[in-house]
Amino acid sequence: MAQSTPTPHKHEFKAEVSALLKLVTNSLYTNREIFLRELISNASDALDKARFEGLTRHDMLGRDAPPEIRIEADAARGVLVLEDSGIGMTEEEATRNLGTIAHSGTLEFLRRLREQQDSGQKPDVNLIGQFGVGFYSAFMVADRIDVYSRSAHPEHAAVHWSSTGDGTFTTAPAERELRGTRIELTLKEEAREYLERVRLEHIIRRYSNYVMHPIKLAVRDDKGDLDGEERQINEASAFWARSPKDLSEDDYKSFYKHVMGGFVMPGDEPIAHLHFSADAPIQFHALLYVPGRPPADLFMEDRKSLQLFARRVMIMESCDKLLPLYLRFVRGVVDSEDLPLNVSREMLQEDRTLTAIRKQLTRKVLRLLADLAKDKPEEYTRLWRSFGAVLKEGIHTDTGHQDELVELLRYKTSTSGDDLVSLADYLAAMPEGQDAIYYLTGDNPDALARSPHLEACRGRGYQVLFMTDPIDEWVVQDLEKYKDKPLRSISQGELDLPEEDKDAEEATKEFAGTLERASELLKEQVKQVRVSRRLTESPSCLVDDEGDLSRNMERILKMANQQVPGRKRILEINAKHPFVQAVHRLSAEQPDDPRVATWIELLYDQAALAEGQIADHAGMVRRLQSVLSEVARRT
Ligand code: ADP
């Protein structure tokens, strides 16, 4: 080949590239460090292509060249060099590939930007951060880019591509023996930080730690002398892409630490992990963990979620589109071959690949939880105590998986003490004759355990589920039934417990006058006074009417500063209780005795007190004292 100095060919960038370049170079860009991720990814792709072609082409240049990416920071020249031994480019390829925009991510980016400009908005620089803009992102940090490349196909000469990002670039033949590409970035004055070892190592590890090919870094000082040895910075092996067979528990634990940002407190070790690869319809690897304890940001808007990688390159530090919200406690990484590197958050929302991944992940995680519940109930209990309230949201939001989710529910009950009971356990323990699942909602299990509403169920040996998470109010509304057994609140509506009905009906007739008197007297406080079918020990209790908001729901809505419609509850009295009978006798025999009113009010007081909410403390104390004095007088 004649080696007279050839005149470089001058080219103009395609129109869209010029537009992009202007933007990239002129925008104050906060996250410009991603240029390195983009260049490393290109180099890694080029290495993959070379390996692939090498399988079939035997005449490839540099067949034995070690596949690696070398980065050299030269402070003396102010140049950052990236070199790979990949497939390389011919002059024609360099002109085409580096002069036009091929990928859809960038085109989409430009389209949006133009939209913004057309509608008179100021271009949003953050938009750039949401898109990778590939090779051109290097103009954010470089005044000038020189690319020296030699194709692996030996018949082509090397090329020198050069541009200052001003609308044109040149290509010319170049001297280069080795196959692959060398990119020299002449850094802008304000981008000299990208010559510092610490900075470079940090960026490489952050985005490209798991790129399969070794990334080596050498740093030269102001005099051009090597500052330390050249060394490999990345792990160069994606932990999640390895076979679970080759990994130990300790390996998983240490990777968990990495996922959690490098620090795990003793006792916070993961409860379980899930590691698998899928091939169809979408290829991806997933390594997920259930943390040992709820992360502090579990209920926060900007909490951390799964890390998303595309071909070993991190594209999103926290992607909340990979799992439904009710599985937000799961942490880990997902890596797909099928995702574009240049992808925005908005695009991810509609991305079919992502939707398919999410579907599979959801199924797998639910199966993991079900297996855990079956095989390691203690671990599952731990998980439930930490994340049960979050998981329950799924009953409300993901009807498609309701059947699986129902089996995962656990509750304390009126007979379980501190233990948790599943709905299946509950059914299995139901005595003959019980035909509903009874529950009580409230804010704390100890208070529920003292509730008078439990009495009828207790007498019959029926268990009552204690539902103490706000979300439970939604769970019972959505669920209605479990295996044909209706869910019934024991503090709402009539409790139809068959044998009791006759007694209650008779008592209602017998007590009619007293009930009427009480209803009239308490009409400000309650909408009705009736004979109870649920009390066996306490004289009275308050219940919510069928179809009304439960008291617990009212409390929750008030906590959330919601308007709560005013409504009255129902006072139930226990016709078998001696005090209630005394009230009845007195009201029938001496209707004008002032004690009748006092005692009726006391029945209301004690029902309210049993729930811990007394409006008229002073009045109650007065009424109580009068009864105490009377008891004293009689004894
Ligand atoms: P993308 O990588 O998304 O296609 P880029 O602008 O980053 O977009 O790169 C454009 C094209 O230039 C690449 O698709 C590839 O064909 C070529 N290219 C870039 N860097 C290299 C490299 N180091 N070795 C070989 N080809 C490269």
From the list 1, 182, 14, 153, the residue with the least C-alpha distance to 85 is: 182
* Other beta carbons less than 10 A from residue 248's beta carbon: 8
Same domain, residue pair 142 and 33: yes
Same domain, residue pair 154 and 291: no
Write down the residue that tokens 């051109």 correspond to. Answer: 136
Same domain, residue pair 485 and 502: no
CA separation for the pair 306, 330 (Å, rounded): 7
For residue 158, the model assigns a pLDDT of: 96
Same domain, residue pair 575 and 549: yes
For residue 367, the model assigns a pLDDT of: 97
Q: What region, left, alpha or beta, does residue 370 occupy, with left being phi > 0 and alpha being psi -120 to 50 degrees? A: alpha
For residue 499, the model assigns a pLDDT of: 61
**Number of folded domains that form the chain:** 4
Number of H helices, E strands in the chain: 22, 22
For residue 128, the model assigns a pLDDT of: 54
Q: Would residue 401 count as lying in a domain?
A: no
Peptide bond before 281: cis, by omega within 30 degrees of 0? Answer: yes
Model confidence over 161-193: pLDDT tens digits?
Answer: 999 988 889 999 999 999 999 999 999 999 999
Residue 348 buriedness (CB in 10 A; 0-12 / 13-18 / 19+): buried
**CB-based contact 296:325 (threshold 8 Å):** no
Same domain, residue pair 465 and 526: no
The predicted model gives 113-117 an average pLDDT of 70
Q: Would residue 326 count as lying in a domain?
A: yes
Q: Is the pLDDT of residue 322 over 80?
A: yes
Q: Would residue 604 count as lying in a domain?
A: yes
Same domain, residue pair 505 and 611: yes
CATH number at residue 297: 3.30.230.80
For residue 280, the model assigns a pLDDT of: 81
Same domain, residue pair 214 and 249: no
Alpha carbon of residue 1 to chain centroid: 61
Band of the pLDDT at 317, cuts 50, 70, 90? confident
Q: Is the pLDDT of residue 493 over 90?
A: no
Q: How far is CA 432 from CA 45, 105, 389, 423, in A?
A: 68, 64, 32, 17
Gap from CA of 54 to ligand 1 centroid (Å): 19
Six-digit token string for 300: 């926060």
Spell out the SS3 assignment of 241-289: HCCHHHCCHHHHHHHHHHHCCCCCCCCCCCCEEEEEEECCCCCEEEEEE
Band of the pLDDT at 1, cuts 50, 70, 90? very low
Same domain, residue pair 225 and 256: no
Residue 51 pairs in a beta bridge with none
Same domain, residue pair 21 and 111: yes
Model confidence over 375-409: pLDDT tens digits?
Answer: 999 999 999 999 999 999 999 999 999 999 999 99
Q: Is the pLDDT of residue 27 over 70?
A: no
Task: Output the CA torsion sign for 408, 413, 415, 420.
Answer: positive
Same domain, residue pair 215 and 287: no
Out of 39, 45, 103, give the residue to mutate to test ligand 1, the one with the largest number of ligand atoms within 8 Å of its CB.
45
Q: Would residue 2 count as lying in a domain?
A: no
Band of the pLDDT at 515, cuts 50, 70, 90? very high
For residue 76, the model assigns a pLDDT of: 95
CA separation for the pair 119, 248 (Å, rounded): 56
Q: Is the pLDDT of residue 28 over 50?
A: no
Band of the pLDDT at 500, cuts 50, 70, 90? low
Q: Is the pLDDT of residue 2 over 50?
A: no
Which atom of ligand 1 sits closest to the CA of residue 49? 25
Q: Would residue 268 count as lying in a domain?
A: yes
Which atom of ligand 1 sits closest to the CA of residue 101? 6
Q: Is the pLDDT of residue 345 over 60?
A: no
Structural domain of 26: 9-232
Q: Is the pLDDT of residue 566 over 70?
A: yes
**CB-based contact 323:305 (threshold 8 Å):** yes
Gap from CA of 252 to ligand 1 centroid (Å): 35
**CB-based contact 465:440 (threshold 8 Å):** yes
**Average pLDDT score, the chain:** 88
User: Considering only CA atoms, which residue is closest to atom 23 of ligand 1?
Assistant: 43
Q: Is the pLDDT of residue 153 over 90?
A: yes
CA separation for the pair 274, 376 (Å, rounded): 15
Which atom of ligand 1 sits closest to the CA of residue 105? 3
Model confidence over 185-223: pLDDT tens digits?
Answer: 999 999 999 999 999 999 999 888 888 899 999 999 999
For residue 344, the model assigns a pLDDT of: 57
Decide which of 381, 397, 428 is a domain's last residue. Answer: 381
CATH number at residue 53: 3.30.565.10
Which atom of ligand 1 sits closest to the CA of residue 106? 3
Write down the residue that tokens 């082409």 correspond to. Answer: 57
For residue 459, the model assigns a pLDDT of: 86
User: Considering only CA atoms, which residue is closest to atom 1 of ligand 1?
Assistant: 134
Q: Is the pLDDT of residue 582 over 90?
A: yes
Q: Is the pLDDT of residue 486 over 50?
A: yes
Model confidence over 222-277: pLDDT tens digits?
Answer: 999 999 999 999 988 888 988 999 899 988 988 898 888 767 788 789 999 999 99
From the list 364, 338, 368, 332, the residue with the least C-alpha distance to 351 is: 338
Share of the chain above pLDDT 90, in %: 56
Same domain, residue pair 339 and 297: yes
Residues with CB under 6 A from ligand 1: 38, 42-43, 46, 84, 86-89, 97-98, 102-103, 134-136, 181, 342
User: Considering only CA atoms, which residue is closest to atom 12 of ligand 1?
Assistant: 97
Same domain, residue pair 473 and 605: no
Band of the pLDDT at 131, cuts 50, 70, 90? low
